[in-house]
Every structure is written in C-alpha cells, then in structure tokens.
Amino acid sequence: MKVLVLGGPNLNLLGNREPEIYGTDTLKDIENWVNGLFSQKGIQSDWFQSNSESELIDKIQSAKANGYDSIVINPAGLTHSSVSLHDALRSFDGKKIEVHLSNTYKREEFRKIKITSSASDGVVEGFGKKSYAMAFHYLSELS
C-alpha cells in the first residue's frame, strides 16, 4: 500500500513549536519513526508538508494518478477553517485518516470546530506521534 502523508501549516516548526503541546520531535523525526515501524509491514509512504492550502489541495487531487491508495492528513489549523480542503478530500477515492498530535477537544473552543474531519474515514488525535502510528496500523491491516 502506498500512502501519502500530508501536513498543514506550521507543522514544519514541530520540534520547537509549543513543545509542551506537540512534543520535541520534528516532522522528519516522526516520519522516520513511523517508517521504521511500518516499512516492513507493506506500507510505503511519502510525506509532504506545506503552509499553503492550495499545494495541499493539488497533492490530494493528483494522489490517485500518482498511485496513492490512502491519505493520512494532519491539516493542522486548516482543520478548523478549510471547506476547500474538505471538498478535495471528499474527491479522493481511497482510505483517508485525519490525525492530530494534540487532543483538540481539550484546547480552545475554536478547535472544536472541525471542517475537514468529516471528509475522512476516521480521526486519531491526542496521542502525539503515536496518532500517526495508529493510523498506519489501521492501514497496515488492510494491505
């Protein structure tokens, strides 16, 4: 199974960004850790982060043509604002899992508004980098 892992705005700052909330791993650290766990379990993944909503939408639109079976996405702040990202995800015909490092329900009220989440098959949040591993675990059982 080929998985596209997408990361939204500010996730490029992981490691330094509010480490008490997001941990001290960089996104690259998380990528390497998850790939180490799952590359022998039938999952090949490509990770792409952007601060640009349009770049993320372009990646989703071209995902099928580029051979991806599934998308794991942490839309970051766009979770709470982006109808366009929601619509792009709906157009992807494959498994979709939304992940969050933090438990957004324990945070500010505005984070409880989830525009993108209903476009995915499921959501894993609140377990730090293990949120990604849980999403991959689910996908590995399908492949």
Residues classed as catalytic: 22, 100
Q: Among residues 6, 101, 123, 139, which is the contact residue for ligand DQA, using CB under 6 A?
A: 101
SS3 of the chain: the string is CEEEEEECCCHHHCCCCCHHHHCCCCHHHHHHHHHHHHHHHCCEEEEEECCCHHHHHHHHHHHCCCCCCEEEEECHHHHHCCHHHHHHHHHCCCEEEEEECCCHHHCCHHHHCCCCHHHCCEEEECCCCHHHHHHHHHHHHHC
Smallest distance from the beta carbon of 4 to ligand DQA, in angstroms? 17
Q: Among residues 45, 70, 82, 104, which is the contact residue for ligand DQA, using CB under 6 A?
A: 104
**64 vs 111, beta carbon nearer ligand DQA:** 111
Residue 49 touches ligand DQA, criterion: CB under 6 A = no
Q: Among residues 15, 29, 64, 77, which is the contact residue for ligand DQA, using CB under 6 A?
A: 77
Q: Among residues 74, 116, 117, 120, which is the contact residue for ligand DQA, using CB under 6 A?
A: 74
**8 vs 45, beta carbon nearer ligand DQA:** 8
Of 41-49, 56-64, 84-92, 100-108, the window that binds ligand DQA (rule: CB under 6 A) is: 100-108
Do 113 and 94 form a contact (C-beta atoms < 8 A)? no
Task: Tell me the C-alpha distance between 16 and 10, whole Å.
Answer: 11
Whose structure tokens read 């702040």? 77
Residues that bind ligand DQA (CB under 6 A): 10, 74, 76-77, 79, 100-102, 104, 111
